Amino acid sequence: MTLRFKQNKLPGKRSIYLLKHKSVAIGSTLIVMLAFLAIFAPYLTPYDPIEVDLYNNIQSPSWEHPFGTDNLGRDVLTRVIYATRIDILASIFIVGISMIIGISIGIVSGYYGGVIDKVLVGMMDTFLALPEIILALVLVGALGPGLFNVTLALSLLGWVKYARVSRGLALSIKEKEFIEAMKAVGVNDFYLLTRHIAPNTISPLLTLAALHLGHAILSLAALGFLGLGAQPPMPEWGAMLNEGRIFLRGGWWLSIFPGLMIMITVLAFNFIGDGLRDALDPRMKEVVIK
Amino acid sequence: MHNKINILVICLILFSSIMLGCIGEDVQESVVTSASSETTLEKQIEKTLVIGELWDIRILDPVMSGEMVKEKAMIVDTLVEADPDFKLRPGLAESWEQVSDLQWKFYLKKDVKFQDGTEFTADGVKWSIERAMDMNPPVKAVTQIKSIGVVDKHTLLFTTEKPYAAFPASLEYPSLGILSPTSITDDNGVVTKPIGTGPFKFERFDIASGTLYLLRNDNYWGIKPGLEKLVIKGIPDPASRAMSVEKGEIGFTCDVPYGDIERLKATPGLNVEVHPTARVYQMQFGNLSGTPYSDVRVRKAISYAIDREVISDRTLHGCAAPAIGPVMPMISWSNQELDGYPYDSGKAMQLLAEAGWNDTDGNGIVEKNGEEFGVTLYTYPQRPGLQPMAEAIQSMLKDVGIKVEVRVMDWSAIGEHMTDRDLKLSGTAVAMVPDPDYYLRKTYHSNGDSNIWGYSNPEMDSLLEEGLSTFHAGKRQEIYDRVQEIALDEVPIIHVAYYKVAVVMHDNVQGFVFNPIAHDYMLNPEMYIAS
């Protein structure tokens, strides 16, 4: 016997409201533009992001190279565009993995309660007490530098926020009648957790996820700046900032453009996150209106 | 909503700071001129030179930081010194002679006093050198001293373990700066207030800011030092050094960011000099046996594939010179006949093909027995030239069909990751001791300390051993000429470029003579500040 319950979805009106929300509109426009850059990168620029031209290094912006060239003569615009691909994909990966881990731990903790809950909450508190970037540094130090290792480290560290929120949600959902009903007809725990409790935690977590995307990009760039992330010649915003650092005054274009891209992307995700919160959280909306 | 306002405020602040940064340059320029005109007012400050040092200053014991105490602070002197062409000249020792294969007699200068007024005698020298050998094992390896005998108040008799032609040169090693036994030490026996015989004496050391203050030694045995006070301040960040020298906070520094050199050259009031020094950028192979590198044609191909000119001129902005052999031409014992490996990618591909490496599947990477030629090139971030150089080499090797992945990690971590097939790019000092034996034996002898790649050639070994016990200068030069020739021909290690150091100083800093024997830079007592 299988039971299917219609899941909660955003009502149609609400999605229109979302797009009318100014910051969401700005944020999503920016994201669509960035996604366009990332997807069509090879068609947008005639250069190869890792092809060096040693004789034309440190050229200031011109028609040929609108963002100038770096110390190895690579086109900065091309590298910035290709870096969009790497940074955004990596941050989506980080957020995805963090959400999966966070939701799993959170709902198990909330649903079962008791000793399991105590142990898991203790773990969450421990993780929250330690700064994420320091833990990431330690993990990457152990794994060795590289984009994959950095992404892995940040994925393994980002789950706590999701776990805390989804635990709270699971605590309230498990008291609902439809869960009681399913328990009464003998649906097993795994089915309940994966098909009913987990999906119900996702939409409140979207706000968190949008903000986390921006945060993940900042962490990626920070680790890249320290030389732990993407290894040369891979274009990555943080690593590009670092490469530009010693040319900061003689070749400002090396660091300004990747820096601007980081700022725009993080802002876009934060705008969306804020908008989502306003739209999805009725209490928050009241506070704002007041 | 609050969040959005915050973000807006942050954006505004960021934007305005960028704008301020742009305007800032002009403002700073005017500050420089006013600051320097102010300083000329005071006579006291006029004769003070502030040095922007590359490393944090921590230890003032010459045994552990000889470069600092001897070459930069000039507190101590060594028995033997060297000229800019690396020929030896007398230091605290007036002269020396070889008594037998194992024994050397050193005659000390007679009218020398330590900075605290105590007399400079053979006993003090013996104490100082024995202390250095006890505290720092490499000193013993470099000097090979077995025993030190005091013949009279101003004569010493050194006995070496083995016949060692490089012995007089080894006494130039900066850790062997002669300290007075009256120098003040801490509980562990580490000197905290060094007293030597040099042109400048210790005044005080501010450990919090890592600043060392020195005063002129009026009883110096050489010329009268041109500066009254010398202040050495550790500024490890190259960009901060460049800014400090521009602002006038320091009057002398070196190794500024490559990107700043052209701009500093054009800045009025600053004098930029770029000098070759005894340090080489080298690329080593993981292992010479059981890897593609066991074939000398592959090693030659890699050497031909590297365009050393463009790396030196463009990638490192002139702060390097294309390398020929293991020894830079300015050094007196270099073999001037060598041609090196001029850039020739066609020849490189031909040599690879002869060695059996061909691109059979047309993907641009050469294969042999179905295996692609893919390697990882390791380097470390501390020397700013290394990463761009590694990336340039990566693209040059790709042109001849070798796929290279670059990995930058801490020096100490490279060993854990690097395999026999990999490459490592590093910067290495060639003349810690001004003698050919120092670098050539450790690099090319089958038991050499650096030779972890397993290079072994009986002819090379016997030449290097012969060089140790050959005391005739001309014959010795022939031996090392041959060593350099074989080294270049068999390419057990690739020399990419010779290091150049960019010195930036104010126009009024005069009398500075660059001595490439230094590990970073070396100050000289002739320096003074012109008014």
pLDDT value, residue A99: 95
CATH number, domain with residue A48? 1.10.3720.10
Beta bridge partners of B148: B158
pTM of the model: 0.82
Question: Over the stretch B247-275, which tens digit does the pLDDT of each residue have?
Answer: 999 999 998 888 888 889 999 999 999 99
Cis peptide before A42 (omega within 30 of 0): no
Model confidence at B36, pLDDT cuts 50, 70, 90, reads very low
Same domain, B267 and B339: no
If one counts the domains in chain A, the total is 1
As a whole number, mean pLDDT of residues B112-124 equals 94
Look at phi and psi of residue B227 and say left if phi exceeds 0, alpha if psi is from -120 to 50, else beta: beta
Same domain, B11 and B121: no
Domain hosting residue A65, numbered range = 3-289
pLDDT value, residue A121: 94
Query: In whole angstroms, what separates CA A225 from the centre of its chain?
Result: 18
**Average per-residue pLDDT in chain B?**
89
Q: Is it the case that residue B148 has pLDDT exceeding 70? A: yes
Model confidence at A12, pLDDT cuts 50, 70, 90, reads low
Task: Classify residue B186: in a domain, yes or no.
Answer: no
Cα dist. B194→B116, B212, B259 in Å?
10, 12, 38
Contact A84/A260 with Cβ under 8 angstroms? no
As a whole number, mean pLDDT of residues B465-481 equals 94
Backbone angles phi, psi at B117, to 5 degrees: 95, -10
Model confidence at A33, pLDDT cuts 50, 70, 90, reads very high
Check B394 against A146: CB less than 8 A apart: no
Q: Is it the case that residue B31 has pLDDT exceeding 50? A: no
Question: What is the C-alpha separation between A66 and A59, in angstroms, rounded?
Answer: 10
Answer whether A227 touches B (CB < 8 Å): yes
Answer whether A30 touches B (CB < 8 Å): no
Question: Over the stretch B295-311, which tens digit does the pLDDT of each residue have?
Answer: 999 999 999 999 999 99
Check A245 against B239: CB less than 8 A apart: yes
Same domain, B172 and B206: no
Q: Which positions in chain A touch B1 (Cβ < 8 Å)?
A: 288
Q: Is it the case that residue A286 has pLDDT exceeding 60? A: no
CATH number, domain with residue B254? 3.40.190.10
A168: closest CA of chain B, how far (Å): 24
Answer whether A59 touches B (CB < 8 Å): no
Same domain, B333 and B463: yes
pLDDT value, residue B257: 87
Q: Which positions in chain B touch A51 (Cβ < 8 Å)?
A: 395
As a whole number, mean pLDDT of residues A117-146 equals 90
As a whole number, mean pLDDT of residues B98-106 equals 95
As a whole number, mean pLDDT of residues A30-43 equals 93
Same domain, B157 and B226: no
Same domain, B226 and B307: no
Same domain, B356 and B451: yes
pLDDT value, residue B108: 96
Residues 346-405 of B with CB under 8 A from A: 381, 384, 387-388, 390-392, 394-395, 405
Question: What is the C-alpha separation between B345 and B240, in angstroms, rounded?
Answer: 40
Residue with tokens 């009256």: B182
As a whole number, mean pLDDT of residues B120-145 equals 93
Q: Which positions in chain B touch A270 (Cβ < 8 Å)?
A: 3, 7
pLDDT value, residue B39: 46
If one counts the domains in chain B, the total is 3
Question: Over the stretch A230-263, which tens digit does the pLDDT of each residue have?
Answer: 888 899 999 999 988 888 888 899 999 999 999 9
Same domain, B200 and B230: yes
As a whole number, mean pLDDT of residues B372-394 equals 92
Residues 90-119 of A with CB under 8 A from B: none
Query: In a 3-state reduction of DSSP, which class is residue B357?
Result: coil
Answer whether B407 touches A (CB < 8 Å): yes
CATH number, domain with residue B466? 3.10.105.10
As a whole number, mean pLDDT of residues B392-419 equals 91
Q: What is the ipTM of this complex?
A: 0.76
Same domain, B380 and B440: yes
Same domain, B450 and B331: yes
Q: Which positions in chain B touch A145 (Cβ < 8 Å)?
A: 407-409
Task: Classify residue B183: in a domain, yes or no.
Answer: no
- Max alpha carbon distance in chain B (Å)? 88
A204: closest CA of chain B, how far (Å): 19
Q: Is it the case that residue B33 has pLDDT exceeding 70? A: no
Cα dist. B503→A172, B47, B118, B475, B521 in Å?
69, 20, 36, 37, 8
Q: Is it the case that residue B32 has pLDDT exceeding 90? A: no
Residues 288-327 of B with CB under 8 A from A: 307, 310-311, 314-315
Domain hosting residue B147, numbered range = 75-176
Same domain, B368 and B451: yes
Contact B156/B125 with Cβ under 8 angstroms? yes
